[in-house]
Structure 1
Amino acid sequence: MVEKRRFGNLVPHLILLVGVSIVAFPVYLAFVASTHDAATIANGQMQPVPGPHFLENYYRTIFVGTSSSTREPVGTMMLNSFVMAMGIALGKILISIISAYAVVYFRFPFRMTAFWIIFVTLMLPVEVRIYPTYKIVADLGLIDTYAGLTMPLVASATGTLLFRQFFMTIPDELLEASKIDGAGAFRFFKDTVLPLSITTIAALFVIQFIYGWNQYLWPLLITTKDNMQTIVIGIKKMIVTQDALTEWQLAMATAVLAMLPPVVVVVLMQRLFVKGLVETEK
């Protein structure tokens, strides 16, 4: 008989509440700051409750622009970041699932050698190969383009490894049954492997979308026009280090807006994301 303790879960819940408070309080302060005017924040008179300038600040941030350092509205920056994040996430999934399928289900010379070469690229992140990658993109005329933002970051050894490990858990009986039914390699991939990989695809999509959304160094190098800069670069440019006064209310509004797409993606795909990471077959 399991003893029911009245306060058995009190301590874990208190720890969770403290942790959530520590994480959420700075976000709340950023939101509160985004609803006040610049003078209130600069004079240190900001109250811990939302101010009266919510609509004004967010309208100016999204549709008008912020300051001389970021002449483009944040709506344009968010669009650029969204296109970049979606391109990286979908591109990584597509290339990774095809390469993993080839490594697992096809027999060709140096098959494992090719896989290990892909795996070794984990030691070569974009920061290590930044100069040759930039040189190639510049020679191809991809500066200030969405292709230049996404293509160099599409290849993913992590995704290939994740899909390979999952494909190896698919019973061989499914492959044999598919062959008996006369299905070819593409049919087996489309009708059997792909439906079974939904949770893995969802988990990889969430991780790679956030990875692409938070990119800073590569967009900083590859974009020279204001209308191509991403929201992460925009936040950095809003914090003026010269004599000009930083418009903190607009910078905080931009920071709040920058958090929304990743949060929405995680919330919408939470169930598939968790399932794709914790299932025993993975």
Structure 2
Amino acid sequence: MTESYPLRTFIAHAVLILGILIVAFPIYYTFVASTHSLQTILRPPLPLLPGDRFIENYSEALFGGVGRIGGVSVGTLLFNTTVMALGIAIGKICISILSAYAIVFFRFPLRMTFFWLIFVTLMLPVEVRILPTYKVMVDFGLIDTYAGLIVPIIASATATLLFRQFFLTIPGELVEAARVDGAGPFRFFKDILLPLSKTNIAALFVILFIYGWTQYLWPLLVTNRNDMNTIVIALRKMISFADADTEWHLVMVTCMLAIVPPILVVVLMQRWFVRGLVDTEK
């Protein structure tokens, strides 16, 4: 029998509501600012209710271009960032799951040596190897390209380790049964491992998509043209030291548009994300 504690329940809900308000209010205030004119934003205090320039401001940012970033539209920035985030997430998952598959299910010389070499790269983040990586991108002519944004950071030792640990939990009897049924390596991977790994893949996709979406240092170095900037880089360029030179209404619109795709990914995939992290029954 479950006992009811009305006061304890009320306090718990009050704390949760207060936490939501503290987290959500800056986002709401940004949205309010994105619906007002520049003159209204520069003349404090900013109203707490949305203004009447929602359509005008969002249309100007998405299709009209922003002056401080060379007239590039926020739609172009969103496209660049989406391509980069998807490329990083999908690339990391593909490389990691294939690496883990080879390490766990194949027997070849120096197998564990290769695994530990992959694992050691956890101590070599992009910031440590950024100069030689940039030199390689220059030599291959990949500056201001999507390949230059994606390829240098698609390898993931963390995802490889997670897939390896999951593959080690697969019973040997399942592998033997697949072999008896005549399943080759590719069929075993496609028909058995991938379906079993779908929750892990979903959880990693959410994490890696957000990781790729919020990248700052590498896109800052590898892109020189404004039309190849990601939305995070463009936000920094849009802000000037002088308030009068900053189109704050467009900055606020860009901020709102920048957080929409990651939120959608988390909301749409939250069930798979949670199952991939906590579900032990595959």
C-alpha distance in structure 1 between counterparts of 2:107 and 2:183, whole Å: 18
C-alpha distance in structure 2 between counterparts of 1:244 and 1:6, whole Å: 53
In the TM superposition, residue 70 of structure 1 has moved relative to its aligned partner by: 4.4
Cα displacement string for residues 155-203 of structure 1 (whole angstroms, at most 9, x for unaligned residues): 0001100100111111111101001101111111111001000000000
C-alpha distance in structure 2 between counterparts of 1:18 and 1:127, whole Å: 38
Give matches, 1:49-88, under 5 Å.
Answer: 49-88=49-88
- Residue in 2 that maps onto 1:135: 135
Residue 117 (structure 2) pairs with residue 110 (structure 1): no
The aligned amino acid for 1:117 is L
C-alpha distance in structure 2 between counterparts of 1:50 and 1:122, whole Å: 46
Q: TM-score normalized by structure 1?
A: 0.97
Percent identity reads 62
C-alpha distance in structure 2 between counterparts of 1:12 and 1:162, whole Å: 35
SS at structure 2 position matched to 1:142: coil
| TM-align CA RMSD | 1.3
Q: Is the 1:70–1:237 Cα contact (8 Å) retained in structure 2?
A: no
Q: Which moved more, 1:245-254 or 1:133-142?
A: 245-254
SS at structure 2 position matched to 1:7: helix
Residue 125 (structure 2) pairs with residue 122 (structure 1): no
Q: Is the 1:70–1:238 Cα contact (8 Å) retained in structure 2?
A: no
Q: Is the 1:126–1:153 Cα contact (8 Å) retained in structure 2?
A: yes
Q: TM-score normalized by structure 2?
A: 0.97
- Residue in 2 that maps onto 1:37: 37
Residue 281 (structure 2) pairs with residue 256 (structure 1): no
In the TM superposition, residue 244 of structure 1 has moved relative to its aligned partner by: 4.7
- 1:125 to 1:281, Cα distance in 2 relative to 1, 3 A: farther
SS at structure 2 position matched to 1:150: helix
- Residue in 2 that maps onto 1:212: 212
- Residue in 1 that maps onto 2:91: 91
Give matches, 1:153-164, under 5 Å.
Answer: 153-164=153-164
C-alpha distance in structure 2 between counterparts of 1:62 and 1:3, whole Å: 54
- 1:281 to 1:120, Cα distance in 2 relative to 1, 3 A: farther
Q: Is the 2:200–2:276 Cα contact (8 Å) retained in structure 1?
A: yes
